[in-house]
Amino acid sequence: MKLSTQETPRAVLFDAYGTLFDVYSVVALAEQLFPGQGQALSVLWRDKQIEYSRLVTSSNDGAHYQPFWDLTRAGLRYACLRLKLDLTPPYEAQLMDQYRHLSAFAENHHVLQTLKGQGIQLGVLSNGDPAMLQSAVKSAGFEHLLNHVISVDTIRKYKTHPSAYALGEQATGMPARDILFVSSNGWDALAATWYGYQTLWVNRYGLPFETLGVQPTHTGSTLQDVLALFQV
């Protein structure tokens, strides 16, 4: 369903991990290194990574902040301890390097290219630190399609802190109501909705939305559903 002219966003900001880049594309390597445990490792690793980002943001007003790369490594180490896997230094290096080059979802390049062709400002607003994002964006071939690659590292607070979402307004020069924020993470889509963005939750896995009484502006199943919100 297309939006009215008054409601059509003038910019689109995408979450990176889970939305543009498949955080579970590490499964194949994890399975190769730890047969029978690849899926469990990838899920626990991701969950712990996000848990740590919330922990360091909410504790002492971010005084314990660490870059997302460090939290990602800490999450991997915890997951291996929890699953009783022997994470040798070479294995850790391989898995962390894989995180620099996560696979992009198949439809993403076409969607970004189509929106870019319409003159719409495009950007990433991510927990990832600048070096991580640069590697992922370059590996996916998205550099020429994005106007902004925004990292929360500049404020040392992770999403869902309001200061993180404010970075999108600052980068685009637009109020949140004129920006569509796209995320595959339900918690991220909810917090962005609370902040004031128009939101699209990309529900790739057929999950229920968060049960806190607020719904995203739109819901889809792939990034392709962004295009339905514009006259393209």
Residues marked active site are found at 15
User: Which residues, including other chains, have CB under 8 Å from residue 167's CB and lie 6 or more apart?
Assistant: 125, 150, 152, 154, 155
Are the beta carbons of 114 and 6 closer than 8 angstroms? Answer: no
CA distances in angstroms from 39 to 5, 45, 87, 126, listed in the order given: 44, 10, 16, 24
CA distances in angstroms from 38 to 11, 74, 182, 219, listed in the order given: 37, 17, 28, 30
Three-class SS of residue 230? coil
Q: How many helices (H) and strands (E) does the chain have?
A: 8, 6
Exposed / middle / buried, residue 211 (Cβ in 10 Å: 0-12, 13-18, 19+): exposed
